[in-house]
Structure 1
Amino acid sequence: MSPPETQPSLPRFFHRDLSWMQFNDRVLDEANSKGVPLLERLKFLGISASNLDEFFMIRFPSVLREESSDPQIRDQILEAVLSFHSRQERCHRSLKKQLQEEGIEIVTDKKQIETLGAEIFESEIAAHLDVAGESLDHFLSKFENHRVGFIFSNGLSYKLPPNLDSFYLRRIEKNFYIFILDDLVEVFLQKLHPHLGKPIRFRMTRDADVRVDIDSEDPEAIPDIVKKRVRSRDEGKWTRCLIRADPQVNPDTLLQKIKVPPSQCFFLNHSLLLKACFEAACKVSGELSSESPLVYPPVRSYLPKELSKPSQIFSSLLKRDYLLHHPYDSFEAVVNFVRAAVDDPNVLSIQQTVYRVDALSEVTNLLKKAASQKKVSVYIEPRARFDELNNIQLAEDLRRAGVKVVFPFGEWKIHAKLILVERKDPGGKRERFTHLSTGNYNSKTARLYTDFGVLTARPQVGEDAALFFDSIRKGEVPTQLSHLLVAPTQLHKRLQLLIAQETREARSGKDARIVVKVNALVDRKIIQSLYAASQAGVKLDLIVRGACSLVPGIPELSENIRVISIVDRYLEHSRIYYFQSSNQLYLSSADWMPRNFFSRLEIAYPILDERIFRYITQDVIPCYLADNQKARRLHEDGKWRPVKDSKSQDHRAQFVFEKFSQSEYRNTQLANSISF
């Protein structure tokens, strides 16, 4: 039983947004890590800035709305942000110096920008600048989300249009010069207006947490409904203002006009577009040798031979299941699975969910090709945050090609990732082949994120997948599935039951254990159940990349709970749920958050193949838990501290997984072939 909430000190929860801020601290730690190649560190600096941008668009507005419940939280977050900006500044200054020593310069010197950046400004930027033709009040009232603006002392104002690149790169012989857009533009605006002095440089963030419930019975109306709500992002309340700190500039003209509290205005000693560091580092990396010490060596993704030839895939799947661990295993296996379905004349239908796809998706091009030959249905989520317009455009493209496009309904977003192929063999027997994944059908992020996918021909899985798609097509929430766990109807309840079963086993004196790997753990009912399990003696290992509201290590409450987080080269994105006494193992698209349990259509899928089961429980989970290079452990005081074990060999989970794939899994549990 969960401990009663009436106890004054039990249970305890870390605030999710303060915990998320600590996650972004861990991202910045990678930018400061001397063991990480220099350009990779620059990428992490850019990621940390991009993360903070999204935080002020999505999470911080929620904090402001909930402020009445705990007025101190806002102040604690803003204090953490202030400290974070100081760390970012020191990191930026250090990286800038180290990169310069390697012939890569982030150009900020005015004379150098004038000399080396003039051609870029004249040919790429000047004609696109927006000069305000209205009053300053009107200029600011209509100022779009995340745009950069400049205000001169006489009120003359400019803003950077969204169609410009955030950085420009120039190569002269072996040297690289990176110009971040706002640094470049300010210099040439001063040249255009030499008598006005330096302008105020600023960047505004608005509340962009728009909610779209699709309750229209007319599918044709859905794109317009979503587009209208997306446009409102430029009308949300201001949540933050970044200002370029400069002793020669008095920002009062701006501060007196904007409706942002002083505590939400941050003065920076560097570009306001620090997120550009990620793309700039990627661009420079692409022009260097793969053997350069400034970048990680390219990963050599493994493609199982049975999945390398589309003509052999279905016969291989009829013998056994296949596990894919991206990016160590090639995403080409998924593409080949779809290609096999497109090329096989015995395939009757293909159904797939889409949440986020890459701009030039080979999978979607194959689906377009198939639409003229067989039934193809794509279930697209038009409300995937910041990808709404991309997904609506994709829906229009697919429809023109003859693909049946299905949108979700009500408040529930389709976040589940699966493909179902239905086929009749030459003897007339119906077969179903299913791909289930923890990550998106996106070849770009499949090289940057760690995710699991399973390919299977198990009839019971295919039947559940068919019921899932049928329900959505009818505008119903999927229920009565036998093997797949679906949110919002089953997942939360089933997890509570599985946790309770481990708790009962521990109370009866048996060994009980729970291992969970998720991106976030903030659902309080689940946490209450985990506390109760710990009190009963269940051993819990939680691998939580981001926000974690659970407090581990409290005597008589959570002393049996260990929480670690791993931030490394690839973004940890896979979700694993393991319950030892019940011998249940699931992979899923769902984090342990209320939105995943109750506001999304999610799937957790069981691992039914004994070989894959053993690999995840005996190879993958121990590998993560043994990491003593990139793992941080959460303590009861709320601090994340490096996991260091001087008695053990260095162990870096992501490097070990790469070795597994390069050896074709010969020394792992996957080496033993089992057919079903």
Structure 2
Amino acid sequence: MSEQPVNEREVIKSTVEQGAKPADVDVNKEISDAAEELILEPIPEQPIDPSRLAIEERLPEDIDINDPELYFNRELSHLQFNARVLEQAMDENHPVLNRLMFLCIFSSNMDEFFEIRVAGLKSQIEYGREKNGPDGMHPKKVLKLISDHAHKLVRRQYRILNDIIFPKLAEENIRFIRRSVWSDKQAAWVRRYFRDNVLPIISPIGLDPAHPFPRLANKTFNFVVELEGRDAFGRENGLAIVPAPSSLPRLVKLPDDVCEGGDNMVFLSSIIHAHADQLFPGMTVKGCFQFRLTRNADLEVDSDDIGLDLAGALRTELQSRHYGSSVRLEIADNCPVHIVDSLLAQFDLGNDDLYRIDGPVNLSRLLAVLELVDRPDLMYAPFSPGLPNKLAKSGGIFEAIRQRDYLLMHPFESFSPVVDMLSEAAKDPNVVAIRQTLYRTGARSPIANALVEAARNGKEVTVVIELRARFDEAENLALASRLQDAGAIVVYGVVRHKTHAKMILIVRREGASLNRYVHLGTGNYHAGNARMYTDYGFLTCDKDIGDDVHRVFQQLTGMSKELKVKKLLHAPFTLRDRLLEMIAKEAENAANGEPARIIIKVNSLTEQRLVQALYKASQAGVKIDLIVRGICTLRPGIKGISSNIRVRSVIGRFLEHTRVYYFYNNRSPLVYLSSADGMDRNLNNRIEVAFPIQDFKLARRVKRELEYYLHDNTQSWILQSDGSYQLSKPRKGEYRSAQRVLLNDLADNAR
């Protein structure tokens, strides 16, 4: 009988709980030594004031619903989500290359967290605009807690990489060879690579009064080099900065003839480090240390002074994005203190902003491994997304939608009907107009291609592009230009309200009338996202919904007072208030002794009025389940306040992205799907829509799929009343994974 694989998470947990020494555990020494470091520690929220009675011990009538103890801090909750993503790298249910991917995703998530969230807190303090959230915590305190726990998470990340993932990949003949163990053949090959590919384009910069410290762009890869000796101009000793050219790959695969088999790679950092002396002929290199600076990357283009040219203002702002204020310094862990202190002073950072790194300073670049090795056996098996039979067998997309509504859940079901709908519309002589919102899609995507073709074919194409989709601004500017060149009308929504709604409206002449066909979604019109994110897409020709979508486009492209809509809920006008009304109705039903139930699935929940409404519903006896992937400021499990609320986060192979609002409504369920999360920005400051699922069978399907998540016991993290998350642990033989069930239910050939 073959041996069962070692479950690192269980080994580590038992090691710490039992106080075992490394020799007591049958795993490699590195894992044992790392045990305490790799335990996922809860991130505590605001400390309870010892002078007050803990909220758990107070009577409900003595608790003010605005009490800060009822709310978790938004930023720390965000950090906890990143911690749950990191934990996927420890989960043996994921193939090893997917586990490496989760490490890379964690690294990318943390980059954005520092670029936006930490940078925002620092800006508040710098400009004297500190603002406490509902949790009552001052930004300085939040920054301190972020630093404490982010340092622990980053140390954990590199211990997982070095002690678990790299050894496991080595077992599969995928090796990352450090310069200390290069063979003579390998060293000779690397030397030639450096001479031919690196040396001609690298530009070392010695620091002196004539060579000031270079202006380093956000997240660029650099080295600080300590030099000894005298150069040709008489300059003695000192420091130099070596920016690694962005054109060079961060990971280089060694040829087979210098290795003993398998896939063997070296880091660019190792190549430069090993040959740093060639960059400074005649000087002695005392030390060479990689580092990376993270800057504020948020854009501010919503002010009144942008005039009538949002695109022009954004182009100007994009030029400065790479050079915002400094927020974090990552540097090799063996860099001497005096050099570190010099860099901190140069970037105006403190010790809390310093992260010493035991490995590559940008782990997200390790995703290049997936392109350098051909090992599908070490990743999830591919699958073919499903397609409803009637849609697959129809004579055309419009004929199919005339017969019935369709609900698609990506990636388990195909995104192709959305592309087909636009492609068919572009060619159909009966289609006279197409309107669409675009948040993230890509300038050369199939969606963009279909819109360009439609415009060139004489259709009236109007596209509302949200230029300020974070980190997609440049791509969206390029998309806008391409569409305009094809003859489409492009508008940029409303200046102070991002357009986040996902809508397509196609107007088709059929006989003597013009009929509307609609697609509404919870996620972006991006084929790549549709393979990685779970999202709903809805196809209908319902007259009222078509009229509603038409009115929303009127508001976006023209100027008018608020237009009444019949079936859609529309932020910032009706969505929040209608959600509050439906929550209050469930509370009223519960108070009257009727069964009451609320299920909400969103990416984040922070809007205070929504949280307070859920507290009141819980107090009235409503059973509430919240499936919140990321940030959640609501505190569950408080007696008499939130004891009827359960909160779970599901993290798995696909990124959860569906937004669903379900209300039992006294046996007449209301089911809404939406582009909007339960956040202040979504409900009050963005253009969003929520759309009803009126077909009984489709509504029942959505409820069933919500239940899959509520019964998930393998990838579900349960939020505790103290702010920590506890991973569900199934009993033997009782494993339930929502994503696996959905694959089996909806995909064509899931395995």
**Structure 1 length as normaliser, TM-score?**
0.92
Q: Which residue of 2 aligns with 1:336?
A: 420
Is the counterpart of residue 148 in structure 1 residue 221 in structure 2?
yes
Q: 3-state SS of the aligned residue for 2:396? A: helix
C-alpha contact 2:179 2:274 (8 A) present in aligned 1? no
Verify the 8 A CA contact 1:479 1:486 in the aligned structure 2. no
Moved more, 376-385 or 479-488: 479-488
CA distance in 2, matches of 1:165, 1:310: 47
Q: Partner of 2:692 in structure 1? A: 606
Over 3 Å counting, the alpha-carbon distance change for 1:378 and 1:10 in structure 2 is: closer
Q: Is the 8 A contact 1:417 1:438 kept in 2?
A: yes
CA shift digits 1:518-543 (9 cap, x unpaired): 11111111111111110110001000
Deviates more, 1:593-602 or 1:302-311: 302-311
Aligned to 2:433: 349
Could you report, residue by residue, the CA deviation over 1:49-92 in whole angstroms, capped at 9, with x for unpaired residues? 11000000000122234555413221111100111012101111
209, 213, 221: which is aligned to 2:298?
Answer: 209
Match of 2:497 among 399, 409, 412: 412
> Could you tell me which amino acid in structure 2 is paired with residue 584 of structure 1?
L
Residue 440 of structure 2: SS of its match in structure 1? coil
**Larger CA deviation: 34-43 vs 157-166:** 157-166
Provide Cα deviations, 1:499-531, integer angstroms capped at 9, x if missing partner.
111111111111111101111111111111111
Structure 2 equivalent of residue 662 of structure 1: 747
Q: Match of 1:301, as an amino acid?
A: P
Matches within 5 A, 1:625-640: 625-640=710-725
**Secondary structure of residue in 2 paired with 1:450:** strand
Matched residue of 2:484: which SS?
Answer: helix
Change (3 A) 1:188 1:10: closer
Q: Equivalent of 2:572, from 462, 482, 488?
A: 488
Alignment match of 1:592 (pick from 678, 686, 694): 678
**Partners in 2 of 1:600 and 1:236 — Cα distance?**
25
Q: More displaced, 42-51 or 247-256?
A: 247-256
Aligned to 1:80: 149
Q: Which secondary structure state, in structure 2, belongs to the residue aligned with residue 158 of structure 1?
A: strand
Task: State which drifts further: 301-310 or 488-497.
Answer: 301-310
Residue identity matched to 1:42: L
Cα deviation 1:450-488 (Å, max 9, x = unaligned) = 111001111111111111111111145754222111111
Name the counterpart of 2:284. Answer: 195
Which residue is 2:272 aligned to?
A: 185
| Alignment-derived partner of residue 670 in structure 1 | none
- Whole-angstrom CA distance in 2 between matches of 1:89 and 1:14: 28
Measured after TM superposition, the shift of residue 571 of structure 1 is 0.5
Return the match for 1:504 from 574, 581, 588.
588
Q: Is 1:241 the counterpart of 2:329 in the alignment?
A: yes
Determine the structure 2 residue equivalent to 1:313.
Answer: 397
| Residues in 2 aligned to 1:99 and 1:410: alpha-carbon distance in whole angstroms | 49
Q: Extract unaligned runs of 5+ from structure 1.
A: 666-676
- C-alpha RMSD of matched pairs (Å): 2.5
What secondary structure sits across from 1:521 in the alignment? coil
Q: Distance in 1 between matches of 2:123 and 2:83?
A: 25
Residue of structure 2 in register with 1:668 after alignment: none
Q: What is the aligned partner in structure 1 of residue 617 from structure 2?
A: 533
Deviations 1:587-628 (A, max 9, x none): 1111111111122111111112221101011x2011111101
1:387 to 472, 494, 501: 472
Q: 1:275 aligns with which of 360, 364, 380?
A: 364
Structure 2 residue corresponding to 1:225, chosen from 310, 313, 318: 313
Give 3-state SS (helix, strand or coil) of 1:155's partner.
strand
* 1:221-242 C-alpha deviation (Å, 9 max, x unpaired): 3222001112222332211100
Q: How does 1:540-579 map to 2 (within 5 A)?
A: 540-579=624-663
CA distance in 2 between counterparts of 1:515 and 1:323 reads: 19
Moved more, 229-238 or 559-568: 229-238
| Alignment CA distance shift 1:589-1:137 (3 Å) | farther
2: CA distance between counterparts of 1:264 and 1:654?
38
Tell me the amino acid that sits aligned with residue 46 of structure 1.
C
The AA in structure 1 aligned to 2:147 is L
1:664, 1:428 → 2: CA distance? 44
Aligned residues of 1:522 and 1:548 also touching (Cα < 8 A): yes
| Match runs of 1:116-195 below 5 Å | 117-118=190-191, 120-132=193-205, 135=208, 140=213, 142-153=215-226, 154-170=238-254, 172=256, 175-193=262-280, 195=284
CA contact (8 A) 2:394 2:400 kept: no
Q: SS where residue 356 of structure 2 aligns?
A: strand
Change (3 A) 1:664 1:38: closer
**Conserved? CA contact 1:539–1:560, under 8 Å:** yes
Cross-structure match for 2:179: 109
Instruction: Indicate whether 1:423 and 2:508 are aligned.
Output: yes
Alignment CA distance shift 1:195-1:588 (3 Å)? same
* Corresponding residue of 2:80: 22
Give the Cα separation in 2 of the matches to 1:336 and 1:365: 12
> Could you tell me which of 341, 346, 362 is aligned with 1:257?
346
Is 1:580 the counterpart of 2:675? The answer is no
Q: Contact 2:662–2:672 at 8 Å: present in 1 too?
A: yes
Cα displacement (A) at 1:210: 1.7
1:615 maps to which of 656, 680, 701: 701
Letter matched to residue 342 of structure 2:
T
For residues 600 and 364 of structure 1, what CA distance do their matches in structure 2 show?
A: 23
Which of the pair has more CA radius of gyration?
2
CA distance in 2, matches of 1:217, 1:264: 33
SS at match of 1:88: helix
Shift of 1:133: 6.8
Alpha carbons 1:180, 1:276 under 8 Å: kept: no
Q: How far apart in 2 are the matches of 1:477 and 1:49?
A: 45
Q: Is the 8 A contact 2:436 2:464 kept in 1?
A: yes
Partner residue, 2:461: 376
- Contact preservation (8 Å) 1:472, 1:478: no
**3-state DSSP class of the match of 2:285?**
coil
SS of equivalent residue, structure 1 residue 455: strand
Q: C-alpha distance in 2, partners of 1:184/1:363?
A: 42
Asked whether the equivalents of residues 412 and 599 of structure 1 are also in contact (C-alpha less than 8 Å), the reply is: yes
**Structure 1 stretch 304-313 or stretch 603-612: which is displaced more?**
304-313
Deviations 1:18-70 (A, max 9, x none): 11111111111111112210000000000001100000000012223455541
> 2:442 touches 2:476 (CA, 8 Å); kept in 1?
no
Contact map agreement 2:626 2:645 (CA 8 A) in 1: yes
1:216 shift after superposition: 7.4
Tell me, which stretches of 5 or more residues in structure 2 are unaligned?
1-59, 133-137, 227-237
Matching residue's letter, 2:699: F
The 2-side partners of 1:31 and 1:502 are apart by 40
In the superposition, the TM-score normalised over structure 2's length comes to: 0.83
User: How many angstroms apart in 2 are the aligned matches of 1:434 and 1:541?
Assistant: 30
Q: Which amino acid is the alignment partner of residue 499 of structure 2?
A: I
Q: Percent identity?
A: 35
Distance of aligned partners of 1:540 and 1:190 in 2 relative to their CA distance in 1, 3 Å threshold: farther
